Amino acid sequence: MNTRKTSLNLPLPLQFLAAWIGVWLGRVLQAQVDYLKAENLLLRKKLGTKRVRLTDAERRRLAMLGKALGRKGLAAIATIASPETILRWYRELVAKKYDGSQQRGQGRPKTAAIIVKMASENS
């Protein structure tokens, strides 16, 4: 009797096939990541000590992708900027999103303006 339960109740050969495909995809993706890391390091060495100038759009993109990786994930792969810098860009992006200063008016009108307005409306 099969006491092991699976969420999909697939036959054992299909479970094996699904697991094999998952492992294979994981290896392919890891190979791609390893290649991109090596390529990134080579390009960084060629650049030398020069700073890479990024546009705001590029910073936003790196910030969004970097937030998903977290500080430890960024520490392993980030070469353009430090993990702290990338996460700071993300915090600034979020702060800008929730900044309500553009929606606020100029504040309370001057007392003299209110008095003149009341006097003109109520003769």
Banded model confidence at residue 3, pLDDT cuts 50, 70, 90: low
User: In terms of domains, do 56 and 88 share one?
Assistant: yes
Cα gap 71→85, rounded to integer Å: 10
Cα gap 58→48, rounded to integer Å: 20
User: In terms of domains, do 73 and 40 share one?
Assistant: no
Find the domain containing 31 and state its range.
13-48
- The answer to whether 38 touches 30, Cβ cutoff 8 Å, is no
Write the pLDDT tens digit of every residue in 53-97.
Answer: 889 999 999 999 999 989 998 888 888 889 999 999 999 999 888
User: In terms of domains, do 40 and 75 share one?
Assistant: no
Judge residue 71's burial from the number of C-beta atoms within 10 Å of its C-beta, 0-12 exposed, 13-18 middle, 19 or more buried: middle
User: In terms of domains, do 36 and 62 share one?
Assistant: no
User: In terms of domains, do 57 and 34 share one?
Assistant: no
Domain contains 1: no
Closest CA to 51 of 75, 77, 74, 80: 80
Write the pLDDT tens digit of every residue in 8-67.
Answer: 688 888 888 888 899 888 898 888 888 888 888 888 888 888 888 889 999 999 999 999
- The answer to whether 70 touches 96, Cβ cutoff 8 Å, is no
User: In terms of domains, do 65 and 81 share one?
Assistant: yes
- The H-assigned helical ranges of 48-110 are 56-77, 83-97
